[in-house]
Amino acid sequence: MLTTNPFDVSQDGDTLHEECGIFGISGAADAARLVALGLHALQHRGQEAAGITSFDGTEFHTHRAMGHVAGNFDREEVMVPLRGSVACGHVRYSTTGETALRNVQPLYADLASGGFAIAHNGNISNAMRLRRDLVRRGSIFQSTSDTETIIHLSPLPITVRSSTSSSTR
């Protein structure tokens, strides 16, 4: 697993190394368009890839792509399907997982209780151990991102989550 320390002064002096950017909007018409603007402002935090997931009250809509926000979210054929008054987005600077479309966030899953989208900034320190436990329990992972462990943990009953978490300490 690759990791970086945003405060590592050995890389190029005492500058901050920012990792990823997240932007969300709720209760605004065309929320995805506002998220795209927010991600554009956060582009310096991640230039590897970008993604937006919106919710229209019934369905989730997602577009994820490698590269910058501009060039991926500046076309009507991309933005029109991202309808809804709720949206979240992510610009990626990889610290874990490979550089591939399958790791671009927001990640999305259909659960028994409904859809679930997540954009996360940071590293989950025990992600590999959690992933092994979840795979043993039958989880099937679609990415190599540590963020996906959150999706697999969320539908589990609290007693199972607690035993998974405590068995990994």
DSSP collapsed to 3 states, 13-73? CCCCCCCCEEEEEECCCCHHHHHHHHHHHCHHHCCCEEEEEEECCCCEEEEEEECCCCCCC
Question: How many Cβ atoms from other residues are within 10 Å of residue 11's Cβ?
Answer: 12
The arithmetic mean of pLDDT across residues 17-43, rounded, is 92
pLDDT confidence tier of residue 96, bands split at 50, 70 and 90 = low
Query: Active-site residue numbers?
Result: 20
pLDDT at 46: 85
Query: In the chain, what's the furthest Cα-to-Cα distance?
Result: 49
- Its pTM stands at 0.80
Contact indicator for 37, 74 with CB cutoff of 8 Å: no
pLDDT at 85: 97
pLDDT at 7: 41
pLDDT above 90 (res 60): yes
Closest CA to 21 of 37, 7, 9: 37
Distance, CA of 45 to chain centre: 14
> Which residues, 6 or more positions from 136, have their beta carbon under 8 angstroms from its beta carbon?
none
Tell me the average pLDDT of the chain: 84
| pLDDT tens-digit map of 63-85 | 999 999 999 999 999 999 999 99
pLDDT confidence tier of residue 169, bands split at 50, 70 and 90 = very low
